[in-house]
Amino acid sequence: MAVHGWVLVQTDIGHARTVCDYIAAMRYPGAKVIQADTVTGPYDIIARIEADDLDVLSSAAESAAKDVGGVQHVITCLTITPD
């Protein structure tokens, strides 16, 4: 069963579009980016990721943050759905 999560990213000034484009195009085994958008508010980017399991989701989000410059902070929020 796939898991879904939202990745909230704070970037350095002027880096939001570049980081968002990178996340949107990211390829990670067992995970895919459903959507990535730049937004206003305390975070600069919100991305929705689907993955095979929780560990893959966490690793994919962490990988995106490490592989591109200009990222200050990343929070991953799991989507909780009732059975």
Burial label for 69, CB within 10 Å (0-12, 13-18, 19+), is: exposed
Residue 50 backbone phi and psi in degrees, to 5:
-115, 135
Per-residue pLDDT tens digits for 12-52 = 999 999 999 999 999 899 999 999 999 999 999 999 999 99
pLDDT over 70 (residue 5): yes
Q: Walk me through the domains of the chain, giving residue ranges and CATH numbers.
A: 3-78 (3.30.70.920)
pLDDT over 80 (residue 65): no
List, in order, residues 6 or more apart from 41 with CB less than 8 Å away.
none
Positive or negative CA dihedral for 16, 17, 22, 24? positive
- pLDDT band for 69, please (50, 70, 90 cuts): confident
Q: What is the per-residue pLDDT for 83?
A: 53
Q: What is the per-residue pLDDT for 82?
A: 58
- pLDDT band for 79, please (50, 70, 90 cuts): confident
Please identify which residue in the block is written with the tokens 């929705």.
48
Q: What is the per-residue pLDDT for 24?
A: 94
